[in-house]
Amino acid sequence: MRSDPPVTAVTVRVPAKVNVQLTVGGRRPDGFHDLANVFLAVGLYDHVTAAPAEGLRLTAEGRDVDRVPLDGTNLAARAAVALAKRYGIEPDVHLHIDKAVPVAGGMAGGSADAAGALVACDALWGTGAPREELLDLCAELGSDVPFSLVGGAALGLGRGERLTLLEVGGGFHWVFAVAEGGLSTPEVYRECDRLRRAGGGGDLAGDLPAPAADPELVTALAAGDAERLAAVLTNDLQAAAVGLRPELAATLAAGLDGGALAALVSGSGPTCAFLAPSAAAADALAAALPGRAYAAPAPAPGATIL
C-alpha cells in the first residue's frame, strides 16, 4: 500500500485589499465601531510559506521587511498558535513571509499574512479544518483577516468580520501610493471620534445611524463600471488620516491630476488608492507619482495554495 510522502512546505498567496466603502458608525461601549466595509481584493500579494520546524520560527523578506516583527506578536505567528491550540498540537512551524503588501499601509498586509499562515499550517499539519472554522479563527485574529481568506469583493459588517460576498462584473485598475511610515489604526479611529465631537456631533453608537452598504456602490461593482464606482467611493476615516498626515492631501491631488477617476485613502491609511480608467492608465500613473507607487488589478482571489 503506497502512502503519500510527507508535506515538506506549503506556500500560500494572499492579496492586499482596498476599501471602496468604509462607513464608520459611532463608538460602541467596547470601544469598537460598527462598520459597513466593502472590501475589494487587489492583485498585490504576500506569500506565506509554512515548513516543519522544532518550535515556532518566523523569517521575512521583501517590502518593508525591517518593520515586520519576527516574534509572537506577528499576526501570522498568532494564527499558527491559534490553529495549533484548536487541534491540540504544538505550533512547530517555520513561517517565512515574502512581503509585497506595505506594512501598516491600510491594505491589510498583516491580516493577509495571518490568513495565509492559517491556510498554510492547516495544509502542512493536515488538520483538515473546515472553511467555516478557519473563518472563525480569522475573526478572532482581526477584523480584516476573514476577507483576506475569501478575497474577491465582500461587505463586512460588525467590525468588518461578518462577510457577505458581492458580485463583481468586471475588472478594475488601481494604483497605490505608499507613504513612508505607517499610521496606527487605533489612533486614526480616535482622531475620527475627535473630529466628530469637534464638529458638534456625537461619536457614540447611539449618535449615528447604523452603517449600511451603499446600493449604488454595490451596483457599480456588479456592473464592472469604473466611472460609476469612482463617483461613490467613500472612506469615513479619510479626514482623520489626512489630519494626522497632512501631506496625504497633496498625494491625493497628484493622483487626480495624473488622470485617476477617483482618489481616496485606503482604509486607515496612509496608503492612497487611485482608481484608473484602464490598465495602461494605471501603469502610467504609477510611473508618474512621486515615491513608491504600484499598479494592481482587482478583483483578486483570496488565500490560495500554490
Which residue numbers are catalytic? Answer: 17, 144
**Helix, coil or strand: residue 38:** strand
Name the maximum alpha-carbon separation found in the chain. 74
How many CA atoms does the CB half-sphere of 193 hold within 13 Å?
16
Question: How does DSSP assign 115-162, residue by residue?
Answer: HHHHHHHHHHHT----HHHHHHHHHHH-TTHHHHHHBSEEEEETTTTE
How far is it, in rounded angstroms, from Cα 240 to Cα 186?
11
Identity at 11, one-letter amino acid code: T
Lookup: cell for 154: 465582500
